[in-house]
Structure 1
Amino acid sequence: MQLQNPAEIARHLAELRQEHRDLDTAIAQLASSFGYDELQLTRLKKRKLLLKDAIARLESKLIPDLDA
């Protein structure tokens, strides 16, 4: 998906941030449960890192390029 419009980028960024917060909550709940699935926890953490990278890329698109 190629986002160019700053409004589209901001909307998608908000969705990714919400998913990132939701994953943070899910990870905390899973880690605090007895006998949790280590593989599932690892997958959630990996997804969270991928979201963090996607958020950083979109945030950099919102910063205007300045000619030096």
Structure 2
Amino acid sequence: MDSEVITRRIQVLRQEHGDLEAAIEALQTAPAVDQLQIARIKKRKLRIKDEISQLEDLLIPDIIA
């Protein structure tokens, strides 16, 4: 994968991660809190964070000590 493609994907994922955080905050302040929906969003957010980490690892060259 090209580093520009990886960088762009990371940017998209970070935006989505932020959007999910905002959604969680909005749901938690709603009068009728849907814990199941919040849990699903948190799982999705965690998967995105993991994908970001994996992509960032691809950008960092391996250093053999």
Do Structure 1 and Structure 2 share a fold, with TM-score over 0.5?
Answer: yes
Structure 1 unaligned residues grouped into runs of 5+ = none
Write out aligned runs for 1:1-68 (5 A). 4-68=1-65
Moved over 2 A (4+): none
CA deviation after TM superposition for structure 1 residue 35, in Å: 1.1
Cα offsets for 1:9-51 (capped at 9, x unmatched): 0000000000000000000000111112111111000000000
Structure 2 unaligned residues grouped into runs of 5+ = none
CA deviation after TM superposition for structure 1 residue 54, in Å: 0.5
Distance in 2 between residues matched to 1:30 and 1:53, nearest whole Å: 23
CA deviation after TM superposition for structure 1 residue 67, in Å: 2.8
Identity of aligned residues (%): 48
Normalising by the residue count of structure 2, what TM-score does the alignment of the two structures yield? 0.94
Aligned pair count? 65
